[in-house]
Amino acid sequence: MTADTITAVDTRINARWMIPVVPAGTILNQHALLIQGDRIEAIVPQQEADRRFRARETLDLDEHVLLPGLVNAHGHAAMSLMRGMADDLPLMTWLNDHIWPAEAKFVSPEFIADGTRLAIAEMLRTGTTCFSDMYFFPEVAAQTASDVGIRSQICFPVLDFPTAWGDGPEDYLRQGADLIDQWQGHSHVRVGIGPHAPYTVSDGPLRDIVKLAESKSVPIQIHLHETAFEVADALEKSGTRPSQRLADLGLLTPHTQCVHMTQVDGSDLTLLAQTGAHVVHCPESNLKLASGYCPVDQLQKAGVNVAIGTDGAASNNDLDLFGELGTAALLAKAVAEDAAALSAHEALAMATINGARALGREDEIGSLETGKLADIIAIDLSDPFNQPIYDPASHLIYSQHGRQLSHSWIGGIPQVQDGRLTRIDVPDLVLRVSHWAKRIQQG
């Protein structure tokens, strides 16, 4: 390119700070990000952008930090309609006596559509641009995500017993295989397999899941080592830890996402590191259900990729990933008994490039790099109670939550502008949620 060459782009974003995530620990000051089509064309100092680029639209974000859109690597989106329904209960009581009975009564395609849209609205408004979902009627969740334009990994459920979505493992896998084919190659929606947990899926279906995942080249996401009881019960019944059982069945691979992992010993660490399986940490849900503490620092030092998820709003009770990161950073320090464990930049990586890596999309999203998809968020740090700002990364983790998000783009398309959602009718959504709340309250 000669000095006189001018490149035309669609959008130019001038930001006070930019945290690209890759290279790690980098903060860029007074830079411009250029978008052409659905990709990042360049990231350069603003004065260089003046010389080299002409944009159809320019946005000046003088008090903002720009960073990659966040990846919420685990959740049950439609459970947003159950937010606060059965709080302050142990996991199995919460599931057996409240959540599963409510699901049996209310879960339907309409419930999934409205609950998923509610979750997507909250996630977009707080910085998430890609999420993983594991719930019933995944075909409805996939279509809802596609309609809004958010990136997603939709994991269809597999359990040993019938649910509203199917009669049992064979039915789940048949429907799931069709869903994989339906969304194959889609730019926003990817389909994965979601066996619920080792204690709800027997060996035969797990073997079938491995075969399907290999034949279709899709990921597997499973709740694993969520509680001490889960591990103790497995040891009592079989003499084998759940992680070892999954490894023996061929389920632990670089395409496997292990959610929770609050119970980790040396053998688990070795298995995770050797197989390349990923861990998805859900700190607030684990704390609220008193499930245990994922040893994030220990996992990362062993070379295990650790992403982060909110879990469902029924056990969190929000989907603000910035709040989740603050909790994760503080919890990691307490668990490791090391104030340097999980720094602000490392926490941001968990919700960006680590999440993208867990979902197999690190070549496309998770960092601000030339050629990657333009999935970008902007956080307004102008609030006087955010001042002074010595380190914007530290502020993002320790001093504020996602409601200070001002802008969001997915593939260069605005999803949030000046704090307002652009593709979701919020008043209509509120009416739909109110309808479900009344039905659920009436029982």
Interval 168-220: pLDDT, tens: 999 999 999 999 999 999 999 999 999 999 999 999 999 999 999 999 999 99
Top pLDDT among 85 and 200 is at 200
User: What integer is the mean pLDDT of 295-316?
Assistant: 96
User: What integer is the mean pLDDT of 43-50?
Assistant: 98
Residue 342: which pLDDT band, with cuts at 50, 70 and 90? very high
Please state, for a pLDDT cut of 70, what percent of the chain lies above it: 99
Q: Is the pLDDT of residue 374 over 50?
A: yes
Residues 310, 284: contact at Cβ < 8 Å? Answer: yes
Strands 405-410 and 420-421: unpaired
Alpha carbon 164 to its chain centroid, in Å, reads 25
Alpha-carbon distance values, 41 to 29, 37, 68, 382, 406 (Å): 18, 9, 14, 28, 22
CA max distance for the chain: 74
User: What integer is the mean pLDDT of 429-439?
Assistant: 96
pLDDT computed for residue 4 by the predictor: 61
Residue 1: which pLDDT band, with cuts at 50, 70 and 90? very low
In whole angstroms, what is the distance from residue 209 CA to residue 207 CA? 5
Q: Is the pLDDT of residue 261 over 90?
A: yes
In whole angstroms, what is the distance from residue 67 CA to residue 228 CA? 37
- What is the DSSP-derived secondary structure letter of residue 84? T
- Alpha helix locations (H) across 352-411? 353-358, 392-394
Residue 146: closest CA among 371, 436, 423, 418: 423
Q: Is the pLDDT of residue 2 over 60?
A: no
Alpha carbon 59 to its chain centroid, in Å, reads 27
User: What integer is the mean pLDDT of 360-364?
Assistant: 98
Mean pLDDT, rounded, of the chain: 96
Residues 223, 155: contact at Cβ < 8 Å? Answer: no
In whole angstroms, what is the distance from residue 50 CA to residue 205 CA? 59
User: What integer is the mean pLDDT of 403-420?
Assistant: 96
pLDDT computed for residue 385 by the predictor: 85
Strands 189-195 and 151-158: parallel
pLDDT computed for residue 86 by the predictor: 86
The pLDDT tens digits of the residues spanning 236-249 come to 999 999 999 999 99
Residues 40, 372: contact at Cβ < 8 Å? Answer: yes
User: What integer is the mean pLDDT of 217-224?
Assistant: 98
- Six-digit token pair at 252? 């632990």
Alpha carbon 252 to its chain centroid, in Å, reads 20
| Ordered domains of the chain (ranges, CATH) | 7-68+373-411 (2.30.40.10), 70-358 (3.20.20.140)
- What is the DSSP-derived secondary structure letter of residue 373? B
Alpha carbon 418 to its chain centroid, in Å, reads 23
The pLDDT tens digits of the residues spanning 93-138 come to 888 899 889 998 999 999 999 999 999 999 999 999 999 999 999 9
